[in-house]
Structure 1
Amino acid sequence: MTYVLRPATPLDASKIGEILYRFEHETPWMPKEHSRVEAIAFCDRMISRGWVTVAEDCSTGMILGFCAQDGAEVCSLYLSPEHTGCGIGKRLLDHAKRQASKLKLWTFQANLAAQRFYLREGFVEKKRTDGQRNSEGLPDIEYHWHAQEMETAT
């Protein structure tokens, strides 16, 4: 499969909103708090702020995943479930790394696959919380990545 990374446009809001909605509603431990329309509206706001990069299949135009980045913070990184494990998440994260010399992000403690992914990609755990800081009320982990530390490690 050949795909490209590109800035999201307003027409992508429904496609990336569907990816976000599916994650929430297909993940057993995730609270079901948002409708499909709310997920799309949230993604539209991130797009209008210029935060979102999408991975688009070159032959079908299908959006495979997206990353929302506000400066040094990765706000969202989600893939359609059919496209996990294909290197798309790594490529989106590498794109985010090229935009900033340091990054931070949060993931839920229950999301073991995300934890393995971020550690494999050079992120370091900074702190854990009890979930009071996020709307879902789920315990989470803050991770940091610094380009300089990665250059020193290699």
Structure 2
Amino acid sequence: MTDARADKPDHPEGAAPPSSALSPNQVAPSGPAASPSPPAAPVPSPALDNLTLRPARTTDAGAVGAILSDYTDHTPWLPRLHSRAEDIAHAGLLIDRGWTRLALVDDVIRGFLAREGAQIHALYVARGWRGAGIGARLLRGAMAECARLDLWTFVANDAAQRFYRRHGFAEARRTAGENDEGLPDILFSWRSARETAHG
């Protein structure tokens, strides 16, 4: 969907790809509408009738890590900095911290969002399921629980930027690549109407 990354010094996954020395603030690129990979067959809307959201469990780390790895494998501009095993370990870390909410269709994990307070560390949707509304459901769930949200996405991730703007996020600042990947990125912020009205 987008690459919400918390690899900034002032951030807490976003879901940066794991590494043996992964800091708690690292996060990998992600996203529901974000992958430039070849489009898969569109998912029929009725599939979302069977969409459920739930907190991730330790046993979900393999499936979550596989979504992270697949995104990296199919995103030509994104360098692979971590092994698939490290992606699974990183997914386990996000889950163990209680930050991860899953989207399942017919009991199969199709996406996830990792959030620590107002900081979204990661939002990914499995290839073949992007554009079906899964990322939007995960994001709306976070918006319902918070008065404000912040996340990072790469400048190269046009689809993610469009997705977040559609959901009311605004660009707060840019960097020339102050992240592990060395890629230019953007901080997006969202404030609820009530939060905006109170200052």
Q: Alpha carbon RMSD of aligned pairs, Å?
A: 1.3
* Aligned CA distance change for structure 1 residues 149 and 136 (closer, same or farther; 3 Å): farther
**CA-to-partner distance for each residue in 1:68-95, whole Å, 9 max, x for gaps?**
0000001000000110000000000001
Distance 2:194 2:150 in 1: 14
Partners of 2:103 and 2:111 within 8 A in 1: yes
Distance 1:150 1:54 in 2: 27
Distance 1:79 1:138 in 2: 21
Distance 1:106 1:26 in 2: 20
Partner of 2:189: 144
Partners of 2:79 and 2:181 within 8 A in 1: yes
Q: TM-score, normalised by structure 2?
A: 0.72
Measured after TM superposition, the shift of residue 57 of structure 1 is 1.4
**CA-to-partner distance for each residue in 1:86-135, whole Å, 9 max, x for gaps?**
00000000011112100000000000000000000000001110112x11
Partners of 1:122 and 1:150 within 8 A in 2: no
Task: Name which structure has the greater RCO, CA cutoff 8 Å, separation 6+.
Answer: 2
AA paired with 1:17?
G
State the secondary structure of the residue aligned to 2:128.
helix
Q: TM-score, normalised by structure 1?
A: 0.93
**Unaligned stretches of 5+ residues in structure 2:** 1-46
AA paired with 1:13?
A
Residue 10 (str. 1) matches residue 55 (str. 2): no
State the secondary structure of the residue aligned to 1:32.
coil
Distance 2:94 2:83 in 1: 17
Partner of 1:42: 90
Partners of 2:148 and 2:195 within 8 A in 1: no
Measured after TM superposition, the shift of residue 144 of structure 1 is 0.3
| Moved beyond 6 Å, runs of 4+ | 149-152
Partner of 2:151: 105
- Greater fraction of residues in helix: 1
Aligned length: 149
| Structural mapping, 1:50-89, within 5 Å | 50-58=98-106, 61-89=107-135
Partners of 2:147 and 2:195 within 8 A in 1: no
Partner of 2:34: none
- Greater fraction of residues in strand: 1
